[in-house]
Each structure stands twice: as structure tokens, then as C-alpha cells.
Amino acid sequence: MADRSDADPELVAVAAVAENGVIGDGPTLPWDLPHEVERYRARVADATVAIGRRTFEMFENPPGAHQIVLSRSERTSSEATTEFVTSVDAAVAAARDRGAETLYVLGGAAIYEAFLPECDRLLISRIDGTYDGDASFPEIGADWTLTEKTRHEGYTLETYRPA
């Protein structure tokens, strides 16, 4: 990614991740935690979000007030709140152009992988248990520090910042 400027939004990955790293199973979450989903939706309700095309297409009602959808091919949208881009740099530029202070990165797996080295913060709902699935969150390595943990029913909300 190009050098970031002070005008760029804070990049925050938000994900629900099982103890074994699973984040999804096809078009569904492998767990049923409605209160965690409500908290997730409330966090990004008025925000600009970056989301992969396949993940975006799975939502009947996409999260966030503005969606920046990453796709490998050029696309357009008839929705004023949706913009398609082809790279992390373009997503950050689109968020900056919208005046976003924060760009929430919502997945899927390839999008998390692409954004993770650039993120300023990770908000991980660590779901109790292990699950079968076809998508996993990238490993959170030693270049991240766990700065906060809050226990909720069925999961722990973890905040990470670069080490």
C-alpha cells in the first residue's frame, strides 16, 4: 500500500472469529449469537465499511452507511451508498474522499488478509468453541498486542493494536 497520510481514515478490522480461526461457512456464520451480531451492526451502522464482493452479496441488508466493495474486476453500483474498488489503496482513498474518520474492514478472509498489515486496530469477537467452516481469519502475529478484553455471553471482545 502507498504511504498513509494524516487525512486517511483509521483502519479497523472487525471480525467474529472462532477459537480455531473460522469466520464463516459459505453464506452463513457457523454459530448463533444474535446479541454479537447486533453489537457488530450497531458499531458500523453509521460508518463507512470495506467489504469483499462475495461477502457483500451475501447480505440482504449490507452493514454500514456506506459500503466500499472490493472486487477483482471493475464494477459500478446504482446505489449512492455503494462504491466498487479493486485495491486496498483505492478503498482507503474512497473512504478519505467520503470524509470517513474510520474505515471498518468487514471481510471476508481475503479482504482481512489484504488489509491486516495496514490496520490500526483489530476488534475481534472471539467466539467460544471451535467450528467447521470454509473461511478463516489471518493469524494475529507478534506484531499485534492485545490491549483490551471484555467478556460477553458466548464470546470475548478483544482489541488489538500494532506492537
Asked, for residue 70, whether it belongs to a domain, the answer is yes
Asked, for residue 4, whether it belongs to a domain, the answer is no
Residue 102: C-alpha distances to residues 12, 22, 120 (Å): 7, 25, 10
* pTM, to two decimals: 0.93
Q: Is 95 helix (H, G, I), strand (E, B) or coil?
A: helix
Q: How far is CA 60 from the centre of its chain?
A: 17
Asked, for residue 5, whether it belongs to a domain, the answer is no
Asked, for residue 31, whether it belongs to a domain, the answer is yes
Report d(CA 25, CA 21) in Å as an integer: 12
Residue 2 confidence (pLDDT) above 90: no
Single-letter amino acid, residue 25: D
Q: pLDDT per residue over 11-63, tens digit each? A: 999 999 999 999 999 888 999 999 999 999 999 999 999 999 999 988 878 88
Single-letter amino acid, residue 35: H
| Total domains in the fold of the chain | 1
What range defines the domain where residue 146 resides?
11-157
Residue 101: C-alpha distances to residues 86, 96, 116 (Å): 21, 8, 18
